[in-house]
Amino acid sequence: MVVNAADRAVMTGDPILGWQPKKILDCLDEPIPNAGDLRALDGRPCILFGMLNNAEDWSGEYVNPSLHPFALIDAPKLTTPEFWALVRKAHGLPERRRPDTHVAGERLKELHERHLRASNRLLAPRYQ
């Protein structure tokens, strides 16, 4: 094991076979695996997989699986919404907002009316 002073965490030296880097922006708001325990290490969003002896740091451009799980043992736990809010904050993204239901309802109504008009045009006999 190697201590990385810049990350203030213990890092593993063994590569994870078959691992492909995942861009954080491609993974936003995806479901968290049941084995994952959400933590914050010095304000950085992380996932601890204690039973798998693994941990991930979500504060960089890519998910970093080199974080040693021991670094997260005493880190504060997060809820799923807190985790995603911290991920967005770490990447300078706006907070996720629920869509305005009134606006969404009006948009659906408009789309339904357009569909009906188009259907009526197709069904109506054409006289030339």
pLDDT digits (tens, 9 = 90+) for 1-14: 444 444 444 455 45
Tens of pLDDT, residues 75-113: 999 999 999 999 999 988 888 765 555 556 666 777 777
| pLDDT value at residue 86 | 94
Confidence of residue 50 (pLDDT cuts 50, 70, 90): confident
Reported as half-sphere exposure (CB side, CA atoms, 13 A), residue 22 has a value of 15
In a domain, 52, yes or no: yes
In a domain, 66, yes or no: yes
In a domain, 124, yes or no: no
In a domain, 13, yes or no: yes
In a domain, 6, yes or no: yes
Strand, helix or coil for residue 116: helix
What is the side-by-side order of every strand in the sheet holding 54-57? Answer: 2-4, 9-11, 64-67, 54-57, 44-49, 37-41
In a domain, 85, yes or no: yes
**Whole domain around residue 70: which residue ranges?**
2-98
Give the number of domains in the chain: 1
| pLDDT value at residue 122 | 65
The reported pTM is 0.62
Q: d(Cα 23, Cα 114) in Å, to the nearest integer?
A: 38
To which residue do tokens 């080199």 refer? 66
